[in-house]
Amino acid sequence: MSLTFVGEWYLLRLRSFGLSFSSARAFRASAVMCAAIIIAMAGDARAQSASDLERGRSLFRQALSMEVAGDWTGALSRLEDVARIKTTPQVRFHLARCKEHLGRLTEALGDYRLAEYEATQLNAAELAEMTLARQGLEVRVPKITVTLSPSLANSTVELDGIVLGMSGLGNVIPVNPGEHQLVVHTRDGQSFVRVVRATEGTMERIQLEPPPGFVRTPPNSTSPSRHEANDFTSPRPAWVWVVGGIGVAGIVTGSVLWYVRERAIDDLNNGCQGSVCPTSLKSTQTRGEQASVAAPIALGVGVLGVGIATYGFLSSPSKSTSTATKSRATVNVSVGYNSNYAGVNVAGAF
């Protein structure tokens, strides 16, 4: 087969899927180049894998001998080496047989199903044997269904370390024979373990219930350890929020008054000639004078309020200690000004 023919065939196949190209000549050239690269790589792969394939055949024969001798662990090791070289339905089938005899039934069932599917595609002679093996194992694999009681709604469940999602709960789960560990994690951070034992050919339905003595933490309560680890989650005295609110309001008010002051100054500078101002700007002058006095006071109250609230927030005892010792806070704020002075007096006791 020539490279040009391969390229033409590839082009026709793509066109059969509804693909069109503005430049058929350019695409034809690229298709020929791709075909050349693929053929060259295939030739190299054949040359490089000839010795590997022979080694794989040798390992496969050794594995079959070990199966006859009952050395399923040794046979599985050889077959895994074969699978790294080349995987066929026959290799998968014998991998499944080894895992079945070693008690790894769920893995074996998966390998049987995959081997059967591949054998069907290739019309392999071993297809009937694979089907019988798969059907025989399916009735042996233990199965469980896991559900949660209403008291454990929205909890997370792990089966042997694997989280069961919503699709896993309530549905049939194949497991290997033996003990299995179910771990339930509740929404409030608690957990408990239940151990179940599965036997071949059984179907067990498990509804998880809280064990005796298991007490759920109410959603709105806080455990002592978490409370100590994060003190900022504890309630703060009401005065902290009141003073903090006054402080924020003061800063906002002061900022607005300062803006009014600046606007009044700009209007006076634009409308007055030196120290002489028209009568229409009298109200602007009054507003500017008032804002000049009030803005620093409001800003001062705001800064002090925020500072005091911050101190109270950081130093307030946690809920557990506040029940034993009550903190008292008294804050007195007085404001005064005259033509030469404006200020704020703050007195507090904590």
pLDDT tens per residue, range 132-174:
999 999 999 999 999 988 888 888 899 998 988 877 888 999 9
What does the pLDDT read at residue 219?
53
What does the pLDDT read at residue 20?
43
Q: CA of 251: how far to CAs of 13, 154, 248, 290, 295, in Å?
A: 75, 46, 5, 17, 9
Please name which of 90, 145, 78 lies closest in space to residue 119, comparing C-alpha atoms: 90
What does the pLDDT read at residue 39?
46
Kindly state the tokens that stand for 199: 């036997």
pTM of the predicted model, to two decimals? 0.47
Q: Which residue has the higher pLDDT, 108 or 258?
A: 108
For the ranges 86-90, 259-263, 284-288, 310-314, the one whose mean pLDDT is highest: 86-90
What does the pLDDT read at residue 251?
87
For the segment 237-252, the average pLDDT, to the nearest whole number, is 78
CB atoms within 10 A of CB 259: 12
Q: Which residue has the higher pLDDT, 43 or 74?
A: 74
Query: Does the structure show a pLDDT above 50 at 225?
Result: no
Fold of 3-138: 1.25.40
14-18, 90-94, 162-166, 249-253: least confidently modelled range = 14-18
Residue 233 DSSP label: G
What does the pLDDT read at residue 233?
44
Percentage of the chain lying above the pLDDT 90 cut: 34
Please name which of 231, 251, 237 lies closest in space to residue 296, comparing C-alpha atoms: 251
Helix, strand, or coil (residue 248): helix
Query: Which pLDDT band holds residue 279 (cuts at 50, 70, 90)?
Result: confident
Residue 32: which H helix or E strand, with range?
Answer: helix 24-69
Query: Does the structure show a pLDDT above 80 at 178?
Result: yes
What does the pLDDT read at residue 249?
85
Q: Characterise 153 by phi-psi region: left (phi > 0), alpha (psi -120 to 50), beta (else).
A: beta
What does the pLDDT read at residue 1?
44
Query: Which pLDDT band holds residue 179 (cuts at 50, 70, 90)?
Result: very high
Burial, 317: exposed, middle or buried (Cβ in 10 Å; 0-12, 13-18, 19+)? middle
What does the pLDDT read at residue 334?
45
Name the residue with tokens 């497991």: 175
What does the pLDDT read at residue 210?
86
Q: Which residue has the higher pLDDT, 7 or 86?
A: 86
Q: Where are the extended beta strands (E) located within the chain? A: 143-148, 156-159, 162-164, 173-174, 178-185, 191-198, 203-208, 330-337, 342-349
Query: Does the structure show a pLDDT above 60 at 24?
Result: no
Helix, strand, or coil (residue 155): coil
73-87, 193-207, 221-235: least confidently modelled range = 221-235
Parse the chain into domains and list their residue ranges.
Answer: 3-138, 143-212, 237-349
Please name which of 153, 142, 143 lies closest in space to residue 209, comparing C-alpha atoms: 153
Asked whether the beta carbons of 3 and 35 are under 8 A apart, the reply is yes
> How, if at all, do strands 143-148 and 203-208 pair?
parallel
Q: Which residues contact residue 46 at a Cβ distance below 8 angstroms, ignoring those fewer than 6 apart?
A: none
Report the C-alpha gap between 160 and 196 in whole angstroms: 11
- DSSP assignment string, 97-122: HHHHHTT-HHHHHHHHHHHHHHHHHH
Asked whether the beta carbons of 247 and 301 are under 8 A apart, the reply is yes
Just give the CATH number of 143-212. 2.60.40.1120
What does the pLDDT read at residue 44?
45
Q: CA of 202: how far to CAs of 27, 162, 172, 180, in Å?
A: 60, 22, 12, 14
